[in-house]
Chains A and B, each alone.
Chain A
Amino acid sequence: MAGRSSATAGLLGRQLKAIQKGNDLPGISCGLVRDDNMFEWEVMLMLDDDCKYYGGGNFCALLKFPDTYPMSPPKMIFQNPVPFHPNIYPDGTLCISILHPPGDDQYGYEAAGERWSPVQTPETILLSVISLLNSPNDESPANVEAATMFRAEKEGKNKDFKKRCRKCVRESLGED
């Protein structure tokens, strides 16, 4: 990976090792997509049964770090089967405020305090992702259909959202 910042690669290597060694993130395992590329991580999220909609699911996502990390945030892209979630685009890209750079204020509904800061680490990102899966945010939907269904379910109209989520979970386990 000539031309890419070796300092950034070193930082990512250390952070990856710390996650693999530590037990701070139960149910999460990280690895590299390719051994010679520190900038793309493969993350496996094994959600425990406390998660109302996605409990028991095994979701796989890519974390793509820019050369300018940690000044710029990485991207997180879920792989197939993509969880049916108000904040995940159908193509798998995750939409979460801490992964939005602070300068990027074009939408105006995210407080600067919620956005990326260089002191964030992959660990804090993954914790936020788990919390987002536990409680979806229907304020800024990336998947409008999911957000509508989620709202309907929150108002007690039907259980369609949960059904769709359980279907995703079964797919993620290779059952459907």
Chain B
Amino acid sequence: MPPPNTPEEGLPEVDGPSRINSPGSSNSPNLDSTTSTPTLNFQALEYVDPVDQELICPICRDPLLDPYTTVCEHTFCLECICKAHAISHDCPTDRTPIHFPTDITKAAKIVRNQLDSLRVRCPYSTEGCNEICSRSQVEDHVTKLCIFAPVDCPDDACTKKVCRRDAARNECLHFTMPCEHCERPVECLSMQRHIDHDCPKSHQPCQHCSLKFPRSALEDHESECDDAMIPCDHAGVGCSVSVKQRELPVHLRSCPYTLLEKLGSLVTEQRDKITQLEKRDREMERRLKSLEFHTMHPSCSEYPRSRAIASSTTADGMGEEAALDEALRSNASTGGVPPPFESMDQYLLALYESAESKMDNLQKSLNDLEGRQTVMLLNETMPIKEQLAEMRSNIGAQGMHVRWLMNLRIQERARNAAASAMSGMGGGMSGLGSDSHGDPEDGRGFGRRLSDSLRENPPRL
């Protein structure tokens, strides 16, 4: 059977070794304390600055507390290593066997000093203590100084706790009495807190007019308090005055921004319009500029126009840039002033003209190109056609040759067959064959003679 997973067993009590070995065991948390001084849970301390990883206990992952170093030079909190040792007698990090108490020693002084100087917040910061001190001093602070730390009630008969500030009154405040406002029973100790923060009927001063109101009504009052400072109604159009609510009508009568307020809507409307127009203007300007550059030459004079056209036709891709350069140069030569146009219409006309002439030119060059292409095509296809015809005739001739040879062959075979048949009957018929093909007796010589005769008399095609 495979092993079951992790039986949940209770941990052995580890207080024993810890107490034997630890000179600082007074540091260990003592939760059920009944002593008169508040105790300190070091593990719950809040560190103000980030702590170096080297100072963190590998077991509890907190800054080392009462650090001890093993023979294999690993450092742990005393409490952690004791607990771990109770379960396994090996170093938790590298599993070197460790024997208590000989194999662990107090960590080096430098490590302790570093740990002691870590800055921590007072554990009673939630109660109101803002103290931040080094870790070595925090215990002193809590046990002797912190006025928010809980201590035993001054009354020996009472077992409750009271914060050090209240303990100074030297009387037990752990009795309940009705709240003077809401008449609910409240413990005397927390009466002030109740009145200041919770009691719905306790009177609180308004932060504007210093009149007092029950807590439940305070918020309503503050929102409409005559003494509350409020901004002028015309803050939207620039009035930076804020006055008490009661004085607002007086201010409004004299506020110079009243007039502006009336104009306000008009102003904002105009502002919107202006921004819109500005936007459009910028766009138009951009377009105008680009158009100007493109049409500089044709609109200036006759000579540059033709040149621009020439340049645009000779190099299609480069044409635009060349024209632009040309325009810039001519601009420079005429003192950087673009040629004047008397009216918008004229300008547009010039644009139109130049575009038209460009179109014409393009048309012409296209026609040209087409003609040239056609001629070239014709020139190239003519010889190909001729070659094709020649090849066709050649193939025809070859075909005739082959057919002629085949016929010859067939005839030859037929004659041979006939000859062999005749030789069986008598030599009478053999004379007929020998008329056209020479000597019929020599079979080997027959083929050679055939080819010879072919060479001498090529077959007619």
| Interfacial residues, chain A to chain B (CB-CB below 8 A) | 6-7, 10-11, 14-15, 66, 68, 70-76, 89, 93-95, 99-104, 106-107, 110, 112-113, 116-119, 121, 140-142
Interface positions, chain B 1-54, Cβ under 8 Å from A, are 2-3, 5-11, 43-44
Chain B residues whose C-beta falls within 8 Å of the C-beta of A89 in the assembled complex: 5
Chain A residues whose C-beta falls within 8 Å of the C-beta of B448 in the assembled complex: none
B3–A117 touching, CB < 8 Å: no
Q: A112-B95, A118-B92 are in contact. Are A14 and B8 (CB under 8 A)?
A: no
B61–A118 touching, CB < 8 Å: no
C-alpha spacing A73/B6, complex, angstroms: 7
Interface positions, chain B 37-92, Cβ under 8 Å from A, are 43-44, 58-62, 80, 83-84, 87-88, 90, 92
A99–B83 touching, CB < 8 Å: no
Instruction: Given A112-B90, A119-B59, output 13 extra A-B contacts at Cβ < 8 Å.
Output: A10-B44, A14-B61, A71-B11, A95-B5, A107-B3, A110-B3, A117-B93, A117-B95, A118-B58, A118-B59, A118-B83, A121-B61, A141-B2
Distance in Å from the Cβ of B169 to the closest Cβ of chain A?
A: 32
Chain A residues whose C-beta falls within 8 Å of the C-beta of B7 in the assembled complex: 101, 104
B84–A99 touching, CB < 8 Å: no
**Which of A72, A93, A99, A113 has most B Cβ within 10 Å?**
A72
C-alpha spacing A141/B83, complex, angstroms: 32
- By Cβ-Cβ distance, the 3 closest A-B pairs, closest first, are A102-B88, A119-B58, A118-B59
Q: Looking at the complex, which one of B3, B58, B90 makes contact with A100 (CB distance below 8 Å)?
A: B3
B5–A93 touching, CB < 8 Å: yes
Q: Residue on A with the closest CB to B86?
A: A71
C-alpha spacing A103/B12, complex, angstroms: 12
Q: Residue on B with the closest CB to A7?
A: B43
Q: Residue on A with the closest CB to B1?
A: A107
Q: Looking at the complex, which one of A72, A99, A142 makes contact with B9 (CB distance below 8 Å)?
A: A72
A140–B3 touching, CB < 8 Å: yes
Instruction: Specify the main secondary structure of chain A where it touches its partner.
Output: loop
Chain B residues whose C-beta falls within 8 Å of the C-beta of A14 in the assembled complex: 61
Q: A6-B44, A117-B93, A119-B59 are in contact. Are A94 and B83 (CB under 8 A)?
A: no
| Interfacial residues, chain B to chain A (CB-CB below 8 A) | 2-3, 5-11, 43-44, 58-62, 80, 83-84, 87-88, 90, 92-93, 95
Q: Residue on A with the closest CB to B58?
A: A119
Q: Looking at the complex, which one of A71, A94, A112, A141 makes contact with B5 (CB distance below 8 Å)?
A: A94
11 contacts between A and B (CB under 8 A): A72-B8, A72-B87, A73-B6, A76-B5, A95-B5, A100-B5, A101-B7, A107-B3, A116-B6, A118-B58, A140-B3
C-alpha spacing A93/B2, complex, angstroms: 12
Distance in Å from the Cβ of A14 to the closest Cβ of chain B?
A: 6
Instruction: Specify the main secondary structure of chain B where it touches its partner.
Output: loop
Q: Residue on B with the closest CB to A142?
A: B2
Q: Looking at the complex, which one of B6, B61, B62, B87 makes contact with A71 (CB distance below 8 Å)?
A: B87
Q: Looking at the complex, which one of B6, B80, B84, B95 makes contact with A74 (CB distance below 8 Å)?
A: B6
A7–B95 touching, CB < 8 Å: no
A103–B88 touching, CB < 8 Å: yes
C-alpha spacing A32/B79, complex, angstroms: 28
A66–B8 touching, CB < 8 Å: yes
A72–B11 touching, CB < 8 Å: yes
Chain B residues whose C-beta falls within 8 Å of the C-beta of A102 in the assembled complex: 87-88, 90
Chain B residues whose C-beta falls within 8 Å of the C-beta of A75 in the assembled complex: 5-6
B2–A70 touching, CB < 8 Å: no
Q: Looking at the complex, which one of B3, B11, B59, B84 makes contact with A95 (CB distance below 8 Å)?
A: B3
Q: A10-B44, A15-B61 are in contact. Are A117 and B92 (CB under 8 A)?
A: yes
Q: Looking at the complex, which one of B3, B60, B88 makes contact with A70 (CB distance below 8 Å)?
A: B60
C-alpha spacing A15/B88, complex, angstroms: 23
Chain A residues whose C-beta falls within 8 Å of the C-beta of B2 in the assembled complex: 95, 107, 140-142
**Which of B2, B61, B84 has most A Cβ within 10 Å?**
B2
A117–B44 touching, CB < 8 Å: no
Distance in Å from the Cβ of A159 to the closest Cβ of chain B?
A: 25
C-alpha spacing A72/B3, complex, angstroms: 16
C-alpha spacing A112/B10, complex, angstroms: 20
Chain B residues whose C-beta falls within 8 Å of the C-beta of A10 in the assembled complex: 43-44
C-alpha spacing A113/B95, complex, angstroms: 7
A11–B60 touching, CB < 8 Å: yes
Distance in Å from the Cβ of B280 to the closest Cβ of chain A?
A: 50
C-alpha spacing A17/B2, complex, angstroms: 34
Q: Residue on B with the closest CB to A66?
A: B8
Chain A residues whose C-beta falls within 8 Å of the C-beta of B44 in the assembled complex: 6-7, 10
A104–B3 touching, CB < 8 Å: yes
B88–A11 touching, CB < 8 Å: no
Distance in Å from the Cβ of A70 to the closest Cβ of chain B?
A: 6
C-alpha spacing A94/B83, complex, angstroms: 26
Q: Looking at the complex, which one of A93, A112, A140, A141 makes contact with B88 (CB distance below 8 Å)?
A: A112
Chain A residues whose C-beta falls within 8 Å of the C-beta of B61 in the assembled complex: 11, 14-15, 121
Distance in Å from the Cβ of A46 to the closest Cβ of chain B?
A: 23
Distance in Å from the Cβ of A69 to the closest Cβ of chain B?
A: 10
Q: Looking at the complex, which one of A15, A70, A74, A113 makes contact with B59 (CB distance below 8 Å)?
A: A70
Q: Looking at the complex, which one of A68, A95, A121 makes contact with B10 (CB distance below 8 Å)?
A: A68
A99–B6 touching, CB < 8 Å: yes
A71–B83 touching, CB < 8 Å: yes
Chain A residues whose C-beta falls within 8 Å of the C-beta of B11 in the assembled complex: 68, 71-72
Distance in Å from the Cβ of B184 to the closest Cβ of chain A?
A: 28
